[in-house]
Amino acid sequence: MVKRYDLIVFDWDGTVMDSTAVIAGSIQAACRDLGLPIPADETARHVIGLGLDEALRHAVPDLPEHQRGDLVERYRHHFLAQENAMPLFAQAQETIAELRTAGHSLAVATGKSRHGLQRAMQASGMQSYFHAIRTADMTFSKPHPAMLLEIMDELGVIPQRTLMVGDTTHDLQMALNAGVDAIGMTHGAHPEDQLRALQPLALLHDFVELRTWFRQYA
C-alpha cells in the first residue's frame, strides 16, 4: 500500500507515556504545600501539554507572582519523585518501532522541557526512535503551530504528509493550526467529547487500536 504519511509526530505525556495522573497529582500537591487553592482533577488534567509556566498559570489563575517560583519548585519536587515509575502505554514502543522500520520519520512535540523529555526517553529506552523533537522551552507552546512547523521544516516534510497523534485538545488544535491531520488518543488527559469536537481523523483508545489504524491507513 502507498504510504500516506512521511512524518508522524507524537505528543509524549498522556500519549506515549502514562503520566497524566502523576502530572495532575503533582500540580495539586504543589498547591497543597503552599496553602494555595487546589485545582480540581479536571482543571489539573486540562493544562497537561502546555509548557510548565503556562500550565501553572491556567491551573492556579490567582497565584501571587511572588509564589510562582515556589510553585514551580514544589511541582518539580513531586513530579521528579515519581518520574522513574511512569510506564509507557502498552504497545507504544512496539508500535513506534514498527513505524520507524516501515520508513516513517518520527518526532515528538511536547509541553515538557528538553531535559525532561530527554530523561524520559532515556529511562524508557525510546531515545533512538525519533528523528526530531520540539519542547516547550525550544519554541512556542501548544496550541501555537510552531512545534509542528519547525519539525516539518527540519525534516523536509509538507503538512499534507504529516500526522499528529495526541491526547489533548492542545495537540489537536496545534495540528489544525499547522494544517496537519491528527488522531486523538482517549487514554490520556482530555475527555473524549472534547477531542471529538476538534474532528480528528480518528479517536482511538490505546496503542493496539492505533497500531491497527497505522497498518491500514498510514
pLDDT tens per residue, range 14-58: 999 999 999 999 999 999 999 999 999 999 999 999 999 999 999
| Distance between CA atoms of residues 216 and 156, nearest Å | 24
Domains of the chain and any CATH numbers: 7-19+86-217 (3.40.50.1000), 20-85 (1.10.150)
Q: Which three cell numbers stand for residue 4?
A: 500516506
pLDDT for the residue 135: 98
The end-to-end CA distance of the chain, in Å, is: 9
Judged against a pLDDT cut of 60, whether residue 1 lies above it is answered with no
- Binning pLDDT at 50, 70 and 90, where does residue 3 land? confident
pLDDT for the residue 2: 60
Quote the strand ranges of the chain, DSSP E. 7-10, 105-109, 132-134, 162-166, 181-185, 202-204
Query: Which residues are part of the catalytic machinery?
Result: 11, 13
What is the arithmetic mean of pLDDT over 97-124? Answer: 96
Record the pTM: 0.95
108 φ/ψ angles, rounded to the nearest 5 degrees: -125, 135
What is the arithmetic mean of pLDDT over 152-170? Answer: 98
Judged against a pLDDT cut of 70, whether residue 185 lies above it is answered with yes
Residue with C-alpha cell 493550526? Answer: 177
CB 154 within 8 A of CB 180: no
Beta bridge mates, 125:
none
